[in-house]
């Protein structure tokens, strides 16, 4: 819409029967009831939606990073997972051979001061003499994270540190899960490795196996020490270490921000196991790693502070760093002793934003990122409000950060939606995990929240429990309604993200999740695909929209204008969700557009649906519940002011007739559907759209000045009454 043009009122409406799909305790709605949605498309009613309203939350949970997005294939690459004392458990490393041919143990003999454990392999057999090694040799192998995905034609970079008192002759191989099929092999030979020596080998795969393993074998008697063994695909995203297929799923969401690295992962059950950023930067082989005692697994911290900032940059998303504030689940630092923790965070911000000549900025530059990262948001702790020392500690962090970096927005753990905060903050964190009914009902949570003061950061939301299954259509529908509510309250809510983001199917500690994967495959749950319907909302313009219906408790709608970056045109999109127990006929009115006579349109319909509310995706059926787009050709017609340009009737299991506007088109729609209906206009027409529900729709109309139309002078109330009364 151009402000230089006169704004003309028009009356456009569509009759839509919204499929009610959840047989809940909702009040019964008469099947013949009509709901009215009035949308004011004039600039006077508009609000700017934050550029970062919808984003993603990454937590190291469910092996989301280690064995997931971070493409490292070796699990426990530094042999540190068994703890700092020796002897120690080397799991998942295993031995090839028996105790008569080799002895494997751990020692505190590494050359890296922050991770002292190394593996000692004493080979007792030889290639000659009385104790002959087996034909294939003896040694060790690592199966990765429930199998390494090795693919034909791809190259893998092996890096390791070795030491021996004599010469070494090692075979390094990528094999099938039982060690019999060889997919790639190379030799490591050296005559003098009396000091720790870094070795690099490229392995070229001659076959494919999603359950492969890496193994080292020899037939030469002697002692060999191993440390910091890494195997990475050479085709990670931009060489930054991110698994391509999982990265693409994140990129496709077009997130405005990424919150990292947790979650409870940041807190730890005990402070000694909390995520500490300084332990996760610098050369990967020098990072000590740590045991995440909340989610019960070891991480080598290859995915560290630098990599999270790089991930945000690669996604085009604003980084939101959540740091520990001296509080864990079971212990906490007194405010009188918190200053060293505060300095650690100031150093972490300097690492991200500091000049390349600064102490910590120089480390970032040495790691390959000369320019500062765009860090503008930090969160002080996670779910710590109410703990004894939180407010005292928070104020120390707040004052120090604001003094050094006044532009950084600081997020408090305390909920400011019910009552004002008693401390300064730019945003407050709000988490909601609940049933489908409760989630949908929470769509209006922020309707009456003050528009003055800190904004809400809804950093974790999801339907859980029986309604969720392992990621159900029902959960996605309820979440869609909730997210529409957040969009309508974009002047009170600044950011929102679903949680958790990832789950390795071999470690589903938390359920449900947005993206499910194993070593070689992945799929999005319905909740992942639901988020696709909000990809255009960031930075868009929210229009004033009003629902009138006896069933308004189970209907919610929003309208936005957004600009398509591909064609630079503006579109208007209307999203509607029906969460009631019966069908509702929805009439949509759009006022304040500029319309010309519109040439013939095409229609495009996108649906997210399935035959059962509890249907889920799986590795066997990864596309069972996902958006499906179809085109409807020759949807001709002419739009005149006040003319009924479309009547769309959607009933359970029956056909949909679109009359008058598109008289030749018949659309088949079923129950349990999210529908995206798009009218594709010719170049001279501007668009407008509608979108999501329990059935969810999107429709586009032309927007161009018309020489013949007249301003409708009736009030909005009278216009609605005219339609209801058929005048």
What's the rounded Cα separation, in Å, for the pair 672 and 472? 11
The torsion angles phi and psi of 64, rounded to 5 degrees, stand at -65, -40
What token pair was written down for 86? Answer: 């020796």
**E strand or H helix at 38, and its extent?**
strand 34-40
DSSP at 483 = H
DSSP 278: G
Task: Provide the 10 A C-beta neighbour count for residue 391.
Answer: 19
CA separation for the pair 528, 473 (Å, rounded): 10
Region for residue 408 given its phi and psi (left: phi exceeds 0; alpha: psi -120 to 50; beta: otherwise):
beta
Check if the beta carbon of residue 63 is closer than 8 Å to that of residue 145: yes
Q: Kindly give, in sequence order, each residue whose CB lies less than 8 Å from that of residue 653, ignoring residues fewer than 6 positions away.
A: 670, 671
From CA 398, how far away is CA 414, in angstroms rounded? 14
Instruction: Answer positive or negative: Cα dihedral of 76, 79, 85, 86.
Output: positive
Containing 508, the helix (H) or strand (E) segment is: none
Tokens representing residue 705 in the block: 């000045």
Q: Which residue has the tokens 């929003």?
A: 558
For residue 398, give every residue at least 6 positions away whose Cβ sits within 8 Å of its Cβ, in sequence order, or none: 380, 410, 423, 424, 425
Q: Which of 404, 406, 449, 400 is nearest to 428 (CA)?
A: 449
What residues act catalytically? 383
Q: How many CB atoms lie within 10 A of CB 365?
A: 17
Place of tokens 């949509």: 588
Reply yes or no: is the peptide bond before residue 512 cis, omega within 30 of 0.
yes
CA 87 to chain centre: 40
CA–CA distance, 43 with 50 (Å, rounded to integer)? 17
Comparing CA positions, the residue from 44, 52, 474, 72 lying closest to residue 242 is 72
Which of 226, 224, 225, 221 is closest to 101 using CA atoms? 221
Q: How far apart are CA 200 and CA 179, in angstroms?
A: 22
SS (H, E, C) 531-555: HHCCCCCCCCEEEEEEEECCCHHHE
Please name which of 385, 395, 383, 380 lies closest in space to residue 335, comparing C-alpha atoms. Answer: 395
Distance of CA 660 to the CA centre of its chain: 42
For every residue of 91-149, DSSP letters joined together read TT-EEES-TTTEEEEEES--S-TT---EEEEEE--BSSSSSBPPTT-EEEEE-TTTSEE
The residues facing 95 across adjacent strands are 140
Task: Give me the residue label for tokens 């070796």.
Answer: 74
CA distance 70 to 304: 10
Query: Quick check: helix, strand or coil at residue 481?
Result: helix
- What is the C-alpha separation between 149 and 504, in angstroms, rounded? 14
Q: Read off the DSSP letter of residue 719.
A: H
């Amino acid at each position: 819409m151009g402000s230089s043009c006169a704004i003309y009122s028009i009356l456009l409406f569509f009759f839509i029967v919204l499929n009610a799909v959840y047989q809940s305790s909702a009040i019964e709605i008469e099947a013949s009831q009509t709901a009215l949605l009035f949308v004011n498309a004039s600039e006077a009613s508009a609000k700017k939606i934050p550029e970062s309203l919808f984003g993603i939350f990454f937590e190291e949970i469910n092996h989301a990073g280690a064995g997931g997005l971070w493409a490292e294939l070796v699990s426990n690459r530094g042999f540190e997972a068994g703890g700092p004392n020796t002897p120690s458990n080397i799991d998942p490393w295993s031995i090839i051979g028996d105790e008569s041919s080799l002895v494997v143990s751990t020692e505190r003999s590494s050359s890296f001061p922050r991770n002292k454990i190394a593996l000692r392999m004493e080979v007792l057999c030889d290639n000659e003499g009385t104790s002959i090694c087996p034909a294939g040799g003896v040694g060790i192998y690592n199966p990765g994270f429930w199998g390494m995905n090795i693919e034909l034609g791809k190259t893998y970079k092996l890096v390791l540190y070795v030491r021996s008192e004599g010469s070494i002759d090692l075979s390094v191989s990528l094999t099938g899960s039982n060690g019999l099929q060889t997919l790639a092999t190379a030799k490591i030979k050296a005559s003098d490795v009396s000091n720790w020596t870094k070795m690099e080998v490229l392995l070229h795969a001659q076959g494919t196996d999603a359950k492969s393993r890496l193994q080292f074998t020899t037939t030469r008697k002697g002692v060999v020490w191993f440390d910091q063994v890494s195997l990475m695909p050479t085709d990670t995203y931009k060489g930054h270490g991110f698994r391509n297929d999982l990265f693409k799923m994140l990129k496709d969401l077009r997130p405005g921000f990424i919150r990292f690295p947790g979650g409870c992962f940041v807190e730890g059950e005990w402070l000694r196991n909390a995520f500490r950023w300084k332990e996760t930067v610098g050369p990967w082989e020098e990072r000590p790693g740590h045991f995440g005692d909340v989610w019960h697994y070891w991480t080598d911290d290859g995915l560290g502070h630098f990599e999270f900032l790089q991930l945000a940059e690669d996604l085009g998303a604003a980084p939101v760093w959540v740091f520990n504030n001296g509080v864990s689940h079971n212990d906490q630092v007194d405010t009188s002793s918190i200053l060293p923790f505060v300095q650690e965070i100031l150093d972490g911000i300097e690492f991200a934003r500091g000049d390349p000549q600064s102490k910590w900025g120089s480390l970032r530059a040495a790691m390959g990122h000369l320019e500062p990262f765009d860090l503008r948001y930090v969160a002080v702790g996670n779910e710590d409000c109410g703990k004894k020392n939180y407010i005292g500690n928070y104020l120390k962090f707040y004052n120090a950060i604001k003094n050094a970096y006044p532009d950084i927005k600081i997020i408090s753990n305390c909920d400011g939606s019910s009552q004002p905060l008693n401390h300064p903050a730019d945003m407050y964190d709000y988490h909601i995990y609940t049933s489908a009914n409760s989630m949908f009902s929470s769509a209006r949570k922020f309707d009456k929240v003050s528009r003055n003061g800190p904004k809400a950061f809804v950093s974790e939301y999801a339907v859980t429990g029986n309604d969720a299954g392992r990621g159900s259509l029902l959960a996605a529908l309820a979440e869609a309604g909730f997210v529409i509510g957040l969009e309508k309250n974009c002047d009170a809510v600044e950011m929102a993200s679903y949680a958790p983001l990832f789950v390795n199917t071999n470690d589903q500690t938390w359920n449900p999740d947005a993206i499910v994967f194993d070593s070689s495959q992945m799929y999005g749950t319905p909740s992942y695909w639901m988020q696709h319907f909000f990809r255009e909302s960031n930075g868009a313009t929210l229009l004033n929209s009003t629902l009138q219906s006896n069933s308004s408790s189970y209907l919610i709608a929003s309208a936005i204008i957004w600009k398509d970056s591909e064609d630079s045109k503006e579109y208007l999109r209307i999203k509607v969700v029906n969460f009631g127990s019966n069908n509702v006929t929805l009439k949509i009115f759009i006022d304040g557009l500029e319309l010309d006579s519109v040439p013939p349109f095409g229609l495009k319909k996108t649906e997210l649906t399935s035959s059962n509310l509890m249907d889920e995706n799986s590795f066997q059926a990864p596309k069972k519940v996902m958006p499906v787009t179809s085109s409807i050709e020759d949807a001709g017609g002419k739009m005149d002011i006040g003319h009924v340009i479309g009547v769309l009737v959607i009933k359970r299991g029956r056909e949909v007739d679109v009359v008058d506007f598109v008289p030749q088109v018949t659309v088949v729609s079923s129950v349990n559907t999210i529908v995206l209906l798009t009218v594709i206009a010719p170049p001279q027409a501007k668009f407008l759209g509608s979108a999501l529900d329990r059935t969810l729709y999107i429709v586009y109309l032309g927007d161009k000045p018309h020489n013949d139309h007249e301003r409708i002078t009736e009030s909005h109330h009278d216009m609605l009454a005219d339609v209801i009364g058929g005048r």
